[in-house]
C-alpha cells in the first residue's frame, strides 16, 4: 500500500471507529445487557483488589516510563483510567492506592486522577500527593525506584499497565517477594514477553487498553469495548480477504478483487 | 455529564490536531504544530515538578517512623552533586558527559546482566504459575527461536531443504508480533477516542 493508501485506510478506520463508538453509546439496549469477552487476568485482578482492601493493604498502579506527548502514551493513559476506578474501590479501605510512573506529565495526571476520584467520593482525607509520584526518569531507574514502593508500602496487589521494556521483570520479582498479586500489560513486545514469564497474569495486545474500561463500565467505556471488538473482526475479514486475493492472483495470474 | 473549562479546551485541542491529521489543511497544520510545541514545553516543566516531588519524598524517607530508607541520602547527595556540577560545567561539557555515562552505562549494563538471571529463574517458576498448552507452546517456541536466532544453524546450507523450513518457521513470530501490534493499535485508537470525547478525563477527573 502506498503512503496515500495508508493514510486513506487509517482515516477510514478512524471514521469507522467514531461511528461505531457513537452508535454503541446511543444504543439503549447496551445499557440493559452487556456481554463482554471474559479476560481471566482482569477477573483475577478484581478478586485480588477486594482481598487487598479487606486485608488493609494498598493497591499499586505502575504506569511505565512513557510520557506526554508521545506515541507510547496511550497505554499509560489507559492505566490512568484503571487508577481512577481503583481509587474509587479503595475509598472503602484504609490505605489509598499508590501510582508510580517514569514521566513527570503522567505523574501529575496520576495525582489529579487520585485527587478527583477521592473528592467525587467525599474521601479527600485519603488523598496524599506523594501517592502519585515519579520514581525515575530512565526505564531502569524507574523500575529500581518502584521496587521499594512495592516492598515497603504494604502493597497487596499491583497493576502494571504502560510502556515498559524488559525492566518490567524487576517489578514482577519485587511483587513475588511480597507475595503480592501482579497483573501486567504493555504496548511493547519485549515487555509483553517478559511479563508473560514473570507476572502472575498478563494482558496481551488490546487487553492492555481494556483494563480501565472493564473496571469502570460507564456508557462510553462499554461502547469503546464493543467498538474495539467490532473493529477487530473488520480487520480480520480484511486480512483474510487479502490473503485469498493473493492466493487466487498467484494461481490464476489475474487479481480476484 | 459535567464538563469543565479544562475539558472543553482539551477536547477542542484534541479535535483540531485530529482533524489536522485527517485533512492536512495549512491552517490546521499550523495550529496543531503550535499545540504540540506547547505540549512539549508543558511536559518539560512536568518533568521538573516530578523531580522536585521525587527529591521531596526521598528527603522525608530517612526520618519516617517505619520503613526508613537509608539509601535516600545517597540518592539526594548524588542528585545535588550532579545538578551543581551540571549547572557549573553545563550538560554539553564533554568531561561531564563522560563522567555521567561512565557511571550510568556500566550500572545499567550490570542490571541487564542481572535481568537475564532473573528471567531464567522466572522460567523455572513458570511451571508453577501456568499450566497446559500455552506453557509448552511458549517454552518450545522460546527454545526453538533462541536456537534459530543464535546463528547455530549456519551450517545448514542455502540449498538444503531444511533452510526453507527454517525460513517458513521464522515467519511465525513475525506474524504473531504483527497480530499483537494490530491489537495494540486498536487499543491505542480507542483510548485516544475515549480521551478525545471526554469520557476519560485524567486532567479533571
* Each residue's pLDDT tens digit, B147-170: 887 777 666 656 667 777 777 888
Share above pLDDT 70 across residues of chain A, in percent, rounded to a whole number: 93
pLDDT at A10: 82
Angle subtended by helix axes A207-215 and B161-196, to nearest 10: 30
Alpha carbon distances (Å) from A219 to A27, A111, B164: 10, 25, 51
Share above pLDDT 90 across residues of chain A, in percent, rounded to a whole number: 44
pLDDT of A29 > 70? The answer is no
Cβ of A105 and B111 within 8 Å?
no
Per-residue confidence band for A168, with pLDDT thresholds at 50, 70 and 90: very high
| CA B31/CA B20 separation, integer angstroms | 9
pLDDT at A150: 93
Average pLDDT on B27-38 reads 88
Nearest residue of B to residue A119, measured between CA atoms: B205
pLDDT at A30: 57
pLDDT at A162: 92
Is B116 in the A-facing interface, judged by CB distances under 8 Å?
A: no
Q: Is the dihedral of CA A46, A52, A53, A59 positive or negative?
A: negative
pLDDT at A181: 94
Residues of chain B contacting residue A21, judged by C-beta atoms under 8 Å apart: 190, 193, 197
Per-residue confidence band for A1, with pLDDT thresholds at 50, 70 and 90: low
Supply the ipTM of this predicted assembly: 0.88
Share above pLDDT 70 across residues of chain B, in percent, rounded to a whole number: 94
Domain residue spans in chain A?
38-217, 229-257
Per-residue confidence band for A143, with pLDDT thresholds at 50, 70 and 90: very high
pLDDT of A175 > 90? The answer is yes
pLDDT at A12: 87
Question: Where are the alpha helices (H) located in A55-135, listed in sequence order?
Answer: 73-90, 104-120
Per-residue confidence band for A253, with pLDDT thresholds at 50, 70 and 90: confident
pLDDT, one tens digit per residue, over A177-235 is: 999 999 999 999 999 999 999 999 999 988 998 888 888 777 888 888 889 989 999 99
Query: Three-state DSSP class for A158?
Result: strand
Per-residue confidence band for A5, with pLDDT thresholds at 50, 70 and 90: low
pLDDT of B77 > 90? The answer is yes
Min Cα–Cα distance to chain A from B114, Å: 10
| CA A153/CA A236 separation, integer angstroms | 44
pLDDT of B91 > 70? The answer is yes
pLDDT, one tens digit per residue, over A93-139 is: 888 999 999 998 999 999 999 998 888 878 888 888 888 899 988 89
Residues of chain A contacting residue B187, judged by C-beta atoms under 8 Å apart: 74-75, 78, 187, 205-210, 228
Question: Where are the alpha helices (H) located in B23-156, listed in sequence order?
Answer: 26-60, 72-89, 94-129, 133-150
Q: Which of A5-9, A144-148, B81-85, B125-129 has the lowest mean pLDDT?
A: A5-9
pLDDT at A31: 58
pLDDT at B17: 87
Q: Which of A164-178, B59-73, B83-97, B185-199 has the lowest mean pLDDT?
A: B59-73
Q: Which of residues 29-48 of B touch A (CB under 8 A)?
A: 36, 39-40, 42-43, 45-48
Q: Which residue has the cell 496481551?
A: A204
Is A198 in contact with A223 (CB distance < 8 Å)? no
Which CATH code, of 3.30.70, 3.90.550, 1.10.3470, 3.40.50, is assigned to A38-217? 3.40.50
Amino acid at each position: 500500500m502506498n503512503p496515500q493508501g495508508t493514510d486513506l485506510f487509517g482515516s477510514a478506520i478512524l471514521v469507522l471507529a467514531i461511528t461505531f463508538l457513537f452508535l454503541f453509546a446511543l444504543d439503549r439496549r447496551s445499557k440493559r445487557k452487556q456481554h463482554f469477552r471474559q479476560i481471566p487476568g482482569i477477573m483475577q485482578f478484581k478478586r485480588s483488589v477486594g482481598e487487598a482492601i479487606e486485608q488493609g493493604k494498598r493497591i499499586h498502579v505502575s504506569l511505565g516510563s512513557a510520557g506526554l506527548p508521545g506515541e507510547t502514551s496511550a497505554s499509560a493513559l489507559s492505566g490512568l483510567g484503571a487508577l481512577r476506578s481503583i481509587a474509587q474501590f479503595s475509598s472503602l479501605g484504609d490505605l489509598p492506592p499508590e501510582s508510580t510512573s517514569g514521566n513527570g506529565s503522567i505523574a501529575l495526571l496520576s495525582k489529579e486522577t487520585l485527587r478527583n476520584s477521592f473528592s467525587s467520593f467525599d474521601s479527600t482525607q485519603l488523598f496524599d500527593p506523594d501517592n502519585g509520584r515519579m520514581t525515575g526518569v530512565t526505564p531502569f531507574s524507574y523500575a529500581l525506584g518502584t521496587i521499594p514502593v512495592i516492598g515497603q508500602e504494604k502493597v497487596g496487589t499491583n497493576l502494571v499497565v504502560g510502556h515498559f521494556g524488559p525492566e518490567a521483570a524487576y517489578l514482577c520479582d519485587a511483587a513475588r517477594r511480597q507475595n503480592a498479586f501482579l497483573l501486567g500489560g504493555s504496548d511493547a513486545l519485549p515487555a509483553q514477553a517478559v511479563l508473560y514469564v514473570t507476572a502472575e497474569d498478563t494482558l496481551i495486545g488490546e487487553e492492555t487498553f481494556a483494563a480501565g474500561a472493564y473496571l469502570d463500565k460507564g456508557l462510553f467505556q462499554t461502547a469503546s469495548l464493543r467498538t474495539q471488538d467490532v473493529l477487530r473482526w473488520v480487520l480480520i475479514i480484511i486480512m483474510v480477504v487479502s490473503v485469498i486475493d493473493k492466493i487466487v492472483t498467484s494461481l490464476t495470474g489475474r487479481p480476484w478483487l | 455529564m459535567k464538563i469543565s473549562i479544562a475539558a472543553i479546551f482539551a477536547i477542542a485541542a484534541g479535535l483540531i490536531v485530529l482533524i489536522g491529521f485527517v485533512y492536512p489543511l495549512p491552517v490546521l497544520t499550523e495550529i496543531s504544530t503550535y499545540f504540540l510545541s506547547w505540549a512539549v514545553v508543558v511536559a518539560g516543566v512536568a518533568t521538573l515538578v516530578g523531580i522536585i516531588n521525587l527529591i521531596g519524598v526521598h528527603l522525608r524517607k530517612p526520618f519516617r517512623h517505619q520503613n526508613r530508607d537509608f539509601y535516600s541520602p545517597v540518592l539526594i547527595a548524588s542528585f545535588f552533586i550532579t545538578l551543581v556540577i551540571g549547572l557549573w560545567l553545563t550538560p554539553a561539557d564533554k568531561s561531564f558527559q563522560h563522567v555521567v555515562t561512565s557511571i550510568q552505562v556500566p550500572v545499567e549494563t550490570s542490571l541487564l546482566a542481572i535481568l537475564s538471571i532473573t528471567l531464567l529463574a522466572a522460567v523455572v517458576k513458570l511451571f508453577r504459575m501456568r499450566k497446559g498448552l500455552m506453557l509448552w507452546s511458549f517454552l518450545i517456541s522460546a527454545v526453538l527461536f533462541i536456537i534459530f536466532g543464535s546463528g547455530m544453524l549456519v551450517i545448514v546450507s542455502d540449498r538444503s531443504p531444511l533452510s526453507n523450513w527454517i525460513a517458513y518457521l521464522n515467519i511465525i513470530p513475525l506474524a504473531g508480533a504483527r497480530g499483537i501490534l494490530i491489537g495494540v493499535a486498536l487499543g491505542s485508537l480507542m483510548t485516544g477516542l475515549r480521551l478525545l470525547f471526554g469520557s476519560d478525563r485524567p486532567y479533571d477527573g
